[in-house]
Structure 1
Amino acid sequence: MMLKEYRICMPLTVEEYRIGQLYMIAKHSHEQSQRGEGVEVIKNEPCQHPDYGEGQYTEKRIYLSSRLPNWMQALIPNVFYITEKAWNFYPFTITEYTCSFLPRFSIHIETRYENNNGSSENSLGLPSEDISLREVDFIDIAYDPLVEKHYKEEEDCTKFKSKKTNRGPLQKGWRENTQPIMCSYKATRVKFEVWGLQSRVEAFSHKAIRDILQVGHRQAFAWIDEWIDMKIEDIRSYEVDMHKKTNQKVTARSNSVD
């Protein structure tokens, strides 16, 4: 099992990010759902936790066979999906991913959001044995190299300037001198217990996770003028509307799986 802790800073407060993240996920899922592939929302409902209190539970199916590399497509059926289960007790969340036909594959992510620039040594309270194994990876939404197919000039954080908040563009070294600033700490465990393929699949999965986090957080900031005036009630209504539209794009694929 590979353990990485991703740290992603944003020029936002933790409370602002709560809205921005939900908006980004709903809009991004809708944009990426095309030709019968994408994200189908199964559940989106309140939940309770004995330690974290009230939260929101979501369950999604992610259909993406054609988006995998050729060597992995050769190992899997033409039609499959990944199940995402998420428990959001903001500012702490738990997310789990399992595969429809690979019971030995799983991803477990624990996330905590703090108003700092990634300086907390152990935000998630990991035990000492995990601290000794983890690899900390800072993701810079502005200056880390981006896969070319994901680049959009209007989402380039080195060029984008918010009209409503006057934030941006982000200059080199922005994490050290930007206010407000917050950080998303993500302890990410990838497990694939198949001899001969474990290292390759786990490494590929972490690369895919990093790419998704980089693109999504760039978008959350670049779309700030679309969501900054929203309240939590507004974003829940927006989620419901976008989920309906998104599900329409993947109904044919999900029905064929069931």
Structure 2
Amino acid sequence: MPMSLEEYQIAQMYMVLKMQQQTTTSDEGVEVLENRSFQDDALGKGQYTSKVYRLQSKVPAWLTTFAPADALTMQEEAWNAYPRCKTVIKCPYFNKFCLAIDTVHKADNGQSENVHGLNKKQLAARQVEVIDIASAARDYWSYVVGGNSVDFSKFRSAKTGRGPLLEGWQSCDPVMTAYKLVTVDAPYWGFGNRLEQAFLAGERALFLESHRNCFGWIDEWFGMTVQQLRELEEQTNSSLDVKTSTKDLDRRWACDKEEEEVYMKKPQLNSEQQGLVNDSTFTNAPTNQLLF
């Protein structure tokens, strides 16, 4: 990424807030359940978040043959102790599924070896992929996630003068890399491997899109502080709550309307039939390392 470690922290916070706003509607998107500070021995101090992602429109066609539309309701827990972060994603419908992302951010151009401290067995199983935010290549998941249309071979930041990103841009200054260790496990006979590959491809597309946005929106976040973004975060979370509560209200309204329609369609009872009604009782794991 063509920015410093300190700048990337701001860029990432801004990007998450803006993408949440853009992708959340009354039908799907992000619901923030918890957002608080934390401290532990492994990561130190940081920010803990718990979120629910409803991704009905992004369910692959093959998955809909045996799973409902809300199968991709995902639960995410994240511990952001920048420059280290850990994210765990689970899926209630596939309760054995788990995707874990361990991230280390370093002020280098992606040449560091084994930043996650993997043992020999883990290193042998690891697949390393370098993702270039300037790449214009797109696949199925890129279109599902959504694409930033900025052409970085022509883009220049008005505030910083950075860009365009031409061949060899990784040698620029400042520069930093996000090292992401992605581990996925879906132990289901018959479709587990396909499910794992789908989630890996989806996460890869999301990583690419979000990091392209980090740089593409540089003139929007450059100069902001963490405190300013925390305040913006509170406003954004309140806005998301309104959207999700509107969804619940729409559901309740739909139920009320349905009950009203059923009542209106009931045949009118005579006095004898009404008396009978009133007297009755009714019961009714591959591992991938991605570098940006």
- For structure 1, the 5+ residue unaligned runs are 1-9
Residue 201 of structure 1, aligned match among 183, 195, 205: 195
Q: Supply the distance in 2 between the matched residues of 1:254 and 1:120 (Cα, whole angstroms).
A: 48
The within-5 A match list for 1:17-28 is 17-28=8-19
Would you say the 8 A contact 2:148–2:213 is kept in 1? no
- Identity, % of aligned pairs? 35
The within-5 A match list for 1:183-194 is 183-194=177-188
Normalising by structure 1, what TM-score? 0.90
**What's 2:147 paired with?**
151
Would you say the 8 A contact 2:76–2:90 is kept in 1? yes
The alignment yields a C-alpha RMSD, in angstroms, of 1.7
**What's 1:166 paired with?**
161
CA positional deviation for 1:114 = 0.2
The within-5 A match list for 1:28-177 is 28-80=19-71, 81-147=73-139, 149=143, 150-153=146-149, 155-175=150-170, 177=171
CA positional deviation for 1:53 = 1.8
C-alpha offsets along residues 7-42 of structure 1, whole Å, 9 cap, x if unaligned?
A: xxx001111101100110110011011241001111
Q: How many residues align?
A: 245
C-alpha offsets along residues 211-251 of structure 1, whole Å, 9 cap, x if unaligned?
A: 00000000010111111111110111111111221232233
Q: Which amino acid aligns with 1:137?
A: E
**What's 1:232 paired with?**
226
Q: Supply the distance in 1 between the matched residues of 2:118 and 2:56 (Cα, whole angstroms).
A: 34
C-alpha offsets along residues 102-158 of structure 1, whole Å, 9 cap, x if unaligned?
A: 1111100100000001101111111221111010011100015134743343x3322
Would you say the 8 A contact 2:26–2:246 is kept in 1? no
- For structure 2, the 5+ residue unaligned runs are 252-292
Relative to 1, partners in 2 of residues 1:111 and 1:152: Cα closer, same or farther, differing over 3 Å? closer
User: Which of the two has greater helix per residue?
Assistant: 2
Q: Which amino acid aligns with 1:189?
A: T
Q: Supply the distance in 2 between the matched residues of 1:119 and 1:254 (Cα, whole angstroms).
A: 48
C-alpha offsets along residues 51-79 of structure 1, whole Å, 9 cap, x if unaligned?
A: 33211000100001221111112332233
Q: Supply the distance in 2 between the matched residues of 1:83 and 1:244 (Cα, whole angstroms).
A: 19
User: Which of the two has greater strand per residue?
Assistant: 1
Helix, strand or coil for the counterpart of 2:160? Answer: coil
Task: Please identify the structure whose Cα radius of gyration is greater.
Answer: 2
Helix, strand or coil for the counterpart of 2:163? Answer: coil
Q: Larger relative CO (CA 8 A, sep 6+): 1 or 2? A: 1
Q: Supply the distance in 2 between the matched residues of 1:52 and 1:43 (Cα, whole angstroms).
A: 19
